[in-house]
Amino acid sequence: MWKTIASFLPDWLIIIQSLIIFLIPYFIWRFFIYIRERANIATIKQESENSQENTCNFTGNLNSDLKFIKKEIGHNSDVHFREFNIGNTGIHAVIIFIEGLSDKDLIDKYIMKSLMIDFSNENISAFMTEEGFNNIIKQQVLSISDVTNTQNLNDLVMKVLQGSTALYIDGSADVFILGTTKGKTRSIEEPISEALVRGPRVGFTEKLSENTAILRQQGNIKSLSFIKFQVGKRGNKDLVVAYIKDLANPDLIHEIEKRIKKIDIDYLPESGYVEQLIEDNYLSIFPQLQSTERPDRVISALMEGRVAILLDGTPFALIAPVTFSMLLQSPEDYYERWIPSTLIRLLRFLAAFIALLVPALYISFISFQPGLIPTKLAISIVGSREGVPFTVLLEALIMEVSIEILREAGLRLPKPIGPAMGIVGGLIIGEAAVNAGIVSPIMVIVVALTAISSFAIPEYNAGISLRVLRFMAMFCAAIFGLYGVILFCLFLCSHLVKLKSFGIPYASPAVPFNLNDWKDFIIRVPLMMMKRRPKMMKTKNSIRQK
């Protein structure tokens, strides 16, 4: 009897293997904790270094304050100081503005004119007290729409550097900031990266105020709200969070505001920085915010209860939260009728599947399980692979890496050569490689199919994610064959269901299962039937149409 029990006791080898099976994920887990800790320590450190804000205030004495201001920004060649007297009163005043950024017309015609020439003597009586004088200037004299006050040097400098004009009146510590910003921007044209067949040909520009204007103009929505933040310690930029007040979930808005306030970096050149700093899981391959240049996309997202983030200086707006289904959708789906939209959407899902798995499946079938492909196909593959010196994995890698290099190169080439190079390069390289006996013709077909499918994905960052994943899938297939591909898919699905974008599970609306949300997932039901907003967004008001 002892013998039978002993025969069930595990072997030494098995005990060692069980130790390995425990240690490896344990180390990986510690590794990830280590990485996350490093990221968090960095932010905490930065937050504790509270930058000493310049809290210099003005005194009211024009000469000393002017010296102050000139010390700060006077050395710049484009800052101009214009001293003058206000009307007949003899009171000194200075305007400070930046050439090129401020509207010269406005300054000349409305500020200087109304202060110097049109200043009527009746108001002199009220200039006894400081407050009175400034008030009158503001309320009766200055015919400018955008007027604010400040007493802070830093504030003044920042505003002047953005294009406003500072009006300093001797005797008052309150400085007027007049909004005269008028920078040069480009005209509104269709975004190149997201061209559609049907839809408005409007895209965002680099100026934040124009972008918000476009949103208001396009949507004409009463409860569209914009909240402004200043981000960037050295390079101060405006950031606007847009949402529809009576639709968006207030928890979502709070969460986004909280994360934006946490951003502590000295300069944000593009909204991509914002995206990377506020997303849930920066180690994941999948993007958790969507970037777009199209205002119609933004407005549709807002109407679903999402939130948009616009940054000054870039035409790319961010939409949060994002779910996996949004990565494969395009606004055209809604502008066309439901049958072609549904079919094209199905095609896109198929294309995504192909782009991800076909090379991996090819490797696994050829190297590991030739019994799973049809006999005639197997025979022709064997025939075509007779002279090829490399293993399937290497062949696939060579072709895939070449295509990726071609793609990158095509982006950098000047416009006339770019597309031609892509096509010609692909054909010639493929043909030449087959003739040289480096790759087999079937490999060329597989790779071409994959490349074309990855172009069919409407979102650029989703396309990038799939490209990276394709390589991982190929490696998994090369080690374990079909089983490796299965494990890879399971791992990917596990990651997808764990990922959350601002509280919404990333894999919605597939899961959690909600029949209503499926109306817009793989198929697109007729518009008449899409009566409710997506349930996963937990909006305040869910009725779209009755």
Kindly list the residues in this chain that would bind other proteins in the complex (CB under 8 A). 7-10, 14-15, 17-22, 24-31, 33-35, 37-38, 366-376, 378-388, 391-392, 478-483, 486-487, 490-491, 493-495, 497-498, 505, 507, 510-513
DSSP string, 246-277: TTS-HHHHHHHHHHHHT---SB--SHHHHHHH
- Is the backbone of residue 531 left (phi > 0), alpha (psi -120 to 50) or beta? alpha
Enumerate residues 6+ apart whose C-beta is below 8 A from 245: 223, 224, 225
Per-residue CA distances from 506 to 87, 296, 345, 357, 492 (Å): 64, 23, 19, 21, 12
At its nearest, how many Å lie between other proteins and the CB of residue 440? 9
- Give 207 or 535: the residue with its C-beta nearer to other proteins: 535
- Give 91 or 478: the residue with its C-beta nearer to other proteins: 478
Q: Name the residue among 199, 230, 204, 227 with its Cα closest to residue 217.
A: 204
Per-residue CA distances from 23 to 26, 31, 135, 329 (Å): 5, 12, 74, 42
At its nearest, how many Å lie between other proteins and the CB of residue 490? 5
At its nearest, how many Å lie between other proteins and the CB of residue 188? 42
At its nearest, how many Å lie between other proteins and the CB of residue 477? 10
At its nearest, how many Å lie between other proteins and the CB of residue 457? 20
Give the strand pairing for 500-501 and 91-98: unpaired
- Give 175 or 507: the residue with its C-beta nearer to other proteins: 507
Q: Name the residue among 224, 252, 287 with its Cα closest to residue 539.
A: 252
Torsion of CA 272, 273, 274, 276, to 10 degrees: 90
Distance CA 362, CA 322 (A): 32
- Give 301 or 485: the residue with its C-beta nearer to other proteins: 485
Count of H-run helices and E-run strands, the chain: 18, 12
- Give 224 or 351: the residue with its C-beta nearer to other proteins: 351
R_g over Cα of the chain:
31
At its nearest, how many Å lie between other proteins and the CB of residue 129? 60
- Give 353 or 455: the residue with its C-beta nearer to other proteins: 353
Distance CA 327, CA 319 (A): 12
At its nearest, how many Å lie between other proteins and the CB of residue 471? 14
At its nearest, how many Å lie between other proteins and the CB of residue 393? 8
Q: Name the residue among 299, 298, 306, 296 with its Cα closest to residue 248.
A: 306
- Give 464 or 486: the residue with its C-beta nearer to other proteins: 486
- Give 372 or 420: the residue with its C-beta nearer to other proteins: 372
Residue 273 near residue 265 (C-beta atoms within 8 A): yes
- Give 315 or 509: the residue with its C-beta nearer to other proteins: 509
Residue appearing with tokens 């510590």 = 173
At its nearest, how many Å lie between other proteins and the CB of residue 369? 6
At its nearest, how many Å lie between other proteins and the CB of residue 30? 5
At its nearest, how many Å lie between other proteins and the CB of residue 467? 21
DSSP strands (E only) in 275-402: 290-292, 307-311, 317-320
- Give 9 or 528: the residue with its C-beta nearer to other proteins: 9
Handedness of CA 61, 67, 73, 76 (dihedral sign): positive
- Give 35 or 213: the residue with its C-beta nearer to other proteins: 35
Length of the chain: 546
Distance CA 479, CA 363 (A): 10
At its nearest, how many Å lie between other proteins and the CB of residue 451? 21
Distance CA 422, CA 448 (A): 12
- Give 387 or 416: the residue with its C-beta nearer to other proteins: 387
CB burial class (10 A; 0-12, 13-18, 19+) of residue 376? exposed
